[in-house]
Structure 1
Amino acid sequence: MYNPTVARLTYRALLGRRRAMILFLLPGMLLLIAAAVRAFNGADDQVAADVLGGFALATMVPLIGVIAGTGAIGPEIDDGSIVYLLSKPVKRPSIIFTKLIVAIAVTMAFSAVPTFIAGFILNGNGQQVAVAYTVAALVASIAYSALFLLLGTISRHAVVIGLVYALVWEALFGSLIAGARTLSVQQWALALAQKVTGDGLITSEVGLTTAVVLLAAVTIVATWFAGFKLRTLKLAGEE
């Protein structure tokens, strides 16, 4: 299913100069914030959890997911260059699967790794905070990549829709409306982080089993539907 040629082209598109600047900006901000907080506040487990939960997981991970997920396929569909790829003897589900793997890898690299480093800067991984939020960032990267790859496949406004979901639904509504939290990738990921710390330092509105099932279901369904939409995309001259 994995196609190295498609992967190479997708990496090149995602890590081009403009997108790479944005991808490096958010992790850089997290590390600067972590260093400043540690310098002025010292090592504090609760503060570390607040920084990693409030900025890393709630803001950085979904935004990088938007950039990587939609950028893996959206621009090719928008400018029509996808027809050159679809005209090659490559199965369309293979294209989606490969682009998803690339989007996940990029999202993990630019979100989970900086989260782990920031956690150590903040409190030296006291009470497993750095590991917990790194696990949350890793699993959230998978679900976000699948969701935003699907958006890039079905809509020309995928980036806008993705930003609305990440910043309005999860960050705003999720902090104000209890019911919205249960439909939040962030909360599902927090359930795994809560399991790692296991002491009440990190809490989630969703139980662990429910969170795992929802994360898996969203990833599988979004990937399948993206593949379905690409399979039904007609090239010029196709009947």
Structure 2
Amino acid sequence: MYNPTVARLTYRALLGRRRALILFALPVLLILISLAVRLLTGADDSTASSILGGFALATMVPLIGVVAGTGAIGPEIDDGSIVYLLAKPLKRPSIIFTKLVVAVGVSVVFSAVPTIVAGFILNGNSQQLAFAFGAAAAAASVAYSAVFLLLGVITRQAVVFGLVYALVWESLIGSLVPGARTLSVQQWALALAQKIAGDGAGVSSDVGLPMAVVLLVGVTVAGTWFAGQKLRTLVLAGEE
């Protein structure tokens, strides 16, 4: 299923100058905020949990997912260069799967790793908060990559829709509106962070861990499958 040539081309597109600047900007901002908070307030578990959950997981991770997920295929569809890739003897699900792997890899590197680093800066990984939120960021990155990759296939306004979802639903509604939290990737990932950090760490989710795992896996599988089907339909439409 995994195609090294497709992966290499996708990595090159994602890590181009413009997108690389965006991918680096948010992790650098997280690290700078963490350094400033640590210098001003010292090590504090509650503060660390607020920053790692409120900024890293709720804002940085979905935004990086937007860049990585939509950027893995959206630009190729927009400029028509996807035709050259589809002309090759490659199965459409293989193309989608490879691009998902690349998007997940980029998202995890630019989301989970900085989150762990920020956690160590903020409180030295007290109560396993750095690893807890790092694992949550990695899990969320997988689901976000699948969702935004699907958006990149089905619409040319994928970045716009992705930003609206990331900033409005995940960062705002998913954090503040109780009824909507159960439908938030952020909350599903928080269930994993809560399990790792323990009940005394002040990390909580509105979704239990078993259900959260089911939802994360389900969204990832469904998004990947639908993207493959849509790409196949796109080719048939072009041939007609």
- Measured against the shorter chain, the TM-score band is over 0.9
Task: Give the Cα separation in 2 of the matches to 1:170 and 1:27.
Answer: 18
Task: Give the Cα separation in 2 of the matches to 1:29 and 1:60.
Answer: 9
**Count of equivalent residues:** 239
Any idea what the Cα deviations from partners look like across 1:140-188, whole Å, max 9, x if unmatched? 0000000000000000110111111111011111233211100000000
Q: Name the counterpart of 1:111.
A: 111
Paired amino acid for 1:152 = G
Cα offset, 1:235, TM superposition: 6.2
Task: Give the Cα separation in 2 of the matches to 1:110 and 1:4.
Answer: 21
Paired amino acid for 2:223 = A
Provide the alpha-carbon RMSD of the alignment. Answer: 1.1
Unaligned runs of 5+ in 1: none
TM-score normalised by structure 2 residue count: 0.97
Verify the 8 A CA contact 1:170 1:180 in the aligned structure 2: no
Q: Name the counterpart of 1:215.
A: 216
Cα offset, 1:238, TM superposition: 2.3
Task: Give the Cα separation in 2 of the matches to 1:76 and 1:26.
Answer: 25
Matches within 5 A, 1:67-86: 67-86=67-86
| Secondary structure, counterpart of 2:239 in structure 1 | coil
Does residue 59 of structure 2 align to residue 63 of structure 1? no
Q: Sequence identity, in percent?
A: 75
Task: Give the Cα separation in 2 of the matches to 1:117 and 1:85.
Answer: 38
Q: Name the counterpart of 1:191.
A: 191
Task: Give the Cα separation in 1 of the matches to 2:156 and 2:103.
Answer: 18
Cα offset, 1:199, TM superposition: 2.1
Report runs of 4+ in structure 1 exceeding 3 Å deviation: none
Q: Name the counterpart of 2:139.
A: 139
Cα offset, 1:90, TM superposition: 1.0
Q: Name the counterpart of 2:51.
A: 51
| Secondary structure, counterpart of 1:232 in structure 2 | helix
Paired amino acid for 2:239 = E
Any idea what the Cα deviations from partners look like across 1:67-93, whole Å, max 9, x if unmatched? 000000000001111000000111111
Matches within 5 A, 1:149-228: 149-200=149-200, 201-228=202-229
Q: Name the counterpart of 2:25.
A: 25
Q: Name the counterpart of 2:38.
A: 38
Cα offset, 1:45, TM superposition: 0.7
Verify the 8 A CA contact 1:45 1:123 in the aligned structure 2: yes
Q: Name the counterpart of 1:93.
A: 93
Q: Name the counterpart of 1:238.
A: 239
TM-score normalised by structure 1 residue count: 0.98
Any idea what the Cα deviations from partners look like across 1:46-83, whole Å, max 9, x if unmatched? 11000100110001000000000000000000111100
Cα offset, 1:128, TM superposition: 0.4
| Bigger mean CA deviation after superposition, 114-123 or 193-202 | 193-202
| Secondary structure, counterpart of 1:117 in structure 2 | helix
Verify the 8 A CA contact 2:13 2:72 in the aligned structure 1: yes
| Secondary structure, counterpart of 1:233 in structure 2 | helix
Verify the 8 A CA contact 1:83 1:235 in the aligned structure 2: no
Task: Give the Cα separation in 2 of the matches to 1:173 and 1:185.
Answer: 12
Verify the 8 A CA contact 1:136 1:193 in the aligned structure 2: yes
Cα offset, 1:234, TM superposition: 2.5
Unaligned runs of 5+ in 2: none
